[in-house]
Amino acid sequence: MQSANSEQHAGPVETASQAGPAEAVNPAGSVEAASQVAPADPALRREIEAVEAARIRALMAVDIAALAEIYDESLVHIHAPGVRHTKEMLLEHTRTRQAYREIQRGELTITSLAPDVVLVTGSIRNRLGNPDGSERIVEGMVAQVLHRGEDARWQFVSFQLTPFGEKVWGDLPSEKAAAAGASDGPGASDRPGASDRPGASDN
């Protein structure tokens, strides 16, 4: 191994620790800092939670102007039945059908993918109106992607809802172990287990 003095004569030798943040070369040949994937810090979490709360309020109030500000022009929104909507289609859907009666979110996992991109995952419970005036409940897991533009505003670019359904294979061994461990801890009787989730199955 070369000493610090020998490195001075042989020219600088940059190690991974000396290089700082990882870098990547894009196809054009320029060097860019690699994105750092990490849980959102408290300040970022508050920002994203506020945007999601604004989305929910706007849907309930059929506030198309507010939704137009929250949705990016490139938005891809996948509804529970697998229907794909663009931004304009989703605004039309909201305006003409006015189906949203109540929207509840569970705990959100917010992950920073890059300085201006975040991924949000978490459960959702929608109470929706039907064409005949009746109502239905749709519950599932949602994955959302938001991007912060040059004006510093966060906007949604992707939304995907996967409804809860039958778990044909049941829980993974690690999930069963985690559920068993949780059932032995303080206050376990107050916490829902994996089998209490909508769509859970022992099959």
Q: pLDDT of 4-45, one tens digit each?
A: 444 444 444 444 444 444 555 555 554 455 568 999 999 999
Q: Report whether 136 contacts 158 (CB < 8 A).
A: no
Asked if residue 57 is part of any domain, the answer here is: yes
pLDDT at 162: 97
Asked if residue 191 is part of any domain, the answer here is: no
Residue 42's domain comprises 38-163
Q: Report whether 155 contacts 58 (CB < 8 A).
A: no
Band of pLDDT at residue 90, cut at 50, 70 and 90 = very high
Asked if residue 186 is part of any domain, the answer here is: no
Q: Where do we find the tokens 């993918």?
A: 113
Number of domains present in the structure of the chain = 1
Q: Would you mind telling me the total number of residues written for the chain in this entry?
A: 203
Sign (positive/negative) of CA torsion 48, 58, 121, 126? Answer: positive
Asked if residue 10 is part of any domain, the answer here is: no
CATH code for the domain of 139:
3.10.450.50
pLDDT at 36: 86
* Integer angstrom CA distances of residue 172 from 5, 80, 192, 200, 203: 55, 24, 17, 12, 12
Residue 49: pLDDT above 60?
yes
Asked if residue 64 is part of any domain, the answer here is: yes
* Mean pLDDT (whole number) for 135-153: 97
pLDDT at 186: 59
Helix, strand or coil for residue 102? strand
Asked if residue 149 is part of any domain, the answer here is: yes
- If we measure between CA atoms, which residue out of 93, 67, 69 comes closest to residue 79? 93
Asked if residue 203 is part of any domain, the answer here is: no
Q: What is the pLDDT of residues 65-78, one digit of tens each?
A: 999 999 999 999 99
The C-alpha atoms of residue 164 and residue 23 are separated, in whole angstroms, by 40
Band of pLDDT at residue 183, cut at 50, 70 and 90 = confident
Asked if residue 30 is part of any domain, the answer here is: no
CA count, 13 A, side-chain hemisphere, 100: 21
